[in-house]
Chain A
């Protein structure tokens, strides 16, 4: 998050790269044009051919189940969860640590799966939105509160909001509406359902503690 003063505009290059890779379905030829010397001058990361690194075997514990995976060690936890395990409740918003849509709980703490390597989550307990409901289908109090308070519109940010809100309550940062607003600031809602999200978190705190 701590970008250099004016040294780089964080959003646009990534977006450009995303568009390039979408359009070409494989950005390697484009990126291969940037040689290491040029990259050093511009401050851009030197390009590497994607897929050049050998895979590694890891085991990930997600929602109480252990998954043995063979993946590129550079793969993020976000991509690992979505592409390897099929847990698409974890959303890819900005993929830059700015929106919070990919929030998961790791060893009970909220973290961003887009800024965590899958390999770094080995040996830790990962919880996604799919792991919140009870075995009989009863929703987690936070999930229920989001429904009760209509705390969403399009719903894309909602899994991240819910996991972040659980972390927020467990940290003791949901005591007041101001606290909730401050400590939920890492989760952006483009539909601006914020008033209802604050109400849902406050309500769920009472249910979780009660």
Chain B
């Protein structure tokens, strides 16, 4: 059989372990990148796997099934910390793409410009990787190794993404810059998640995408924000420090210098969007 769409994980893992199959998890990247007739060999379509469905909240946190579509992520009733993730879900291509494209597909595809990655990094997301050998969890930042490279083993499937309950605190936001408003690959994007108390920053999580081989958190910039009053939030973000943490390249969408200039501004906007209104409203 050269196309399989198993209904359960056990069967999917058995097929994966046999090797030689291209894993299809929606196909919006796979089929856009490889014309269909050039698909290398048999296809393992994981979108029907029961264990990979759903967007669910529990006491442990948030679980995104690997086969959950971006529409499902965008439409789920999630806490404000996930606002950035949901905003990103709404700009993964068009609505048609969001209806078909999946969480696992987007992450395993490992594009440096994947819109979902910066907000997931600010949510301390972990990926659940399963094979017949067992299950392991990796921080998303450790899973993404480089452009189009991940830590996924040849017999593993990315079954789910987990956000720990502790990371569901605060308010999230997402800012994307493209050549136009919609249906565009990002020049750069930034995600923030801010926890405040008594008018001051308790913790901040910041991430930038499309400005380094892998989207990344900016730990030093985050640390400098802790304890700062909300009224100073815009100035508290050091653009030079943010730019220094990045390693953008020149490409068809923008040059490196432009990216270095806009990334801190995207971060500043995302950060301000996280702050409670009205005194810091844009």
Chain A residues in the interface with B (C-beta under 8 A) = 1-10, 14, 17, 31, 43, 45-48, 50-51, 53-54, 56, 72-76, 79, 95-98, 100, 103, 109-112, 114-117, 119-120, 164, 167-168, 171, 173, 182-183, 185-188
B2 in contact with A5 (CB, 8 Å): no
Bound-state CA distance A141–B244 (Å) is 55
B100 in contact with A111 (CB, 8 Å): yes
B250 at the A interface (CB under 8 A): yes
Determine the chain B residues whose CB is within 8 A of the CB of A46 once the complex forms: 40
Determine the chain B residues whose CB is within 8 A of the CB of A9 once the complex forms: 252
B136 at the A interface (CB under 8 A): no
B251 at the A interface (CB under 8 A): yes
Determine the chain B residues whose CB is within 8 A of the CB of A48 once the complex forms: 37-41
B3 at the A interface (CB under 8 A): yes
B100 in contact with A56 (CB, 8 Å): no
Q: Which of these, B31, B42, B183, B253, contacts A76 with CB under 8 Å?
A: B31
**What 10 additional pairs, Cβ within 8 angstroms, besides A5-B113, A186-B95?**
A2-B92, A2-B185, A5-B112, A6-B251, A31-B38, A43-B148, A117-B27, A120-B5, A186-B94, A186-B182
Query: Chain B 13-48 against A: per-residue CB contact (8 Å), 1 yes, 0 no?
Result: 000000000001001110111111111111101010
Residues B100-130 near A (CB distance < 8 A)? 100-101, 106, 109, 111-115
A3 in contact with B40 (CB, 8 Å): no
Determine the chain A residues whose CB is within 8 A of the CB of B101 once the complex forms: 1
Chain B residues in the interface with A (C-beta under 8 A) = 1-3, 5, 24, 27-29, 31-43, 45, 47, 71, 92-97, 99-101, 106, 109, 111-115, 147-148, 181-183, 185, 210, 248-253
A97 in contact with B182 (CB, 8 Å): no
Number of cross-chain contacts by CB at 8 Å = 164
Identify whether the interface residues of A are mostly helix, strand, loop, or mixed: loop
Determine the chain B residues whose CB is within 8 A of the CB of A45 once the complex forms: 33-34, 38, 40
B93 in contact with A7 (CB, 8 Å): no
A112 in contact with B113 (CB, 8 Å): no
B29 in contact with A2 (CB, 8 Å): yes
Bound-state CA distance A46–B45 (Å) is 20
Known: A5-B210, A73-B2. A120 touches B112 (CB 8 A): no
Bound-state CA distance A53–B2 (Å) is 8
Which residue of chain B has the shortest Cβ distance to A5 in the bound complex? Answer: B112
Q: Which of these, A17, A112, A167, contacts B97 with CB under 8 Å?
A: A112
Interface pairs A-B: 7 shortest CB-CB = A186-B94, A6-B251, A1-B93, A185-B182, A73-B3, A2-B111, A45-B34
A74 in contact with B36 (CB, 8 Å): yes
Bound-state CA distance A100–B182 (Å) is 13
Determine the chain A residues whose CB is within 8 A of the CB of B94 once the complex forms: 1, 100, 185-187
A97 in contact with B148 (CB, 8 Å): no
Determine the chain A residues whose CB is within 8 A of the CB of B253 once the complex forms: 5-6
Minimum CB–CB distance from A175 to chain B (whole Å) comes to 15
Bound-state CA distance A127–B39 (Å) is 26
Which residue of chain B has the shortest Cβ distance to A79 in the bound complex? Answer: B36
B252 in contact with A1 (CB, 8 Å): no
Known: A110-B99, A120-B47. A2 touches B39 (CB 8 A): no
Determine the chain A residues whose CB is within 8 A of the CB of B37 once the complex forms: 48, 50-51, 72, 74-75
Minimum CB–CB distance from B54 to chain A (whole Å) comes to 17
B31 in contact with A97 (CB, 8 Å): yes
B95 in contact with A17 (CB, 8 Å): no
A186 in contact with B97 (CB, 8 Å): yes
A168 in contact with B95 (CB, 8 Å): yes
Bound-state CA distance A74–B24 (Å) is 11
A115 in contact with B95 (CB, 8 Å): no
A2 in contact with B99 (CB, 8 Å): no
Determine the chain A residues whose CB is within 8 A of the CB of B47 once the complex forms: 120
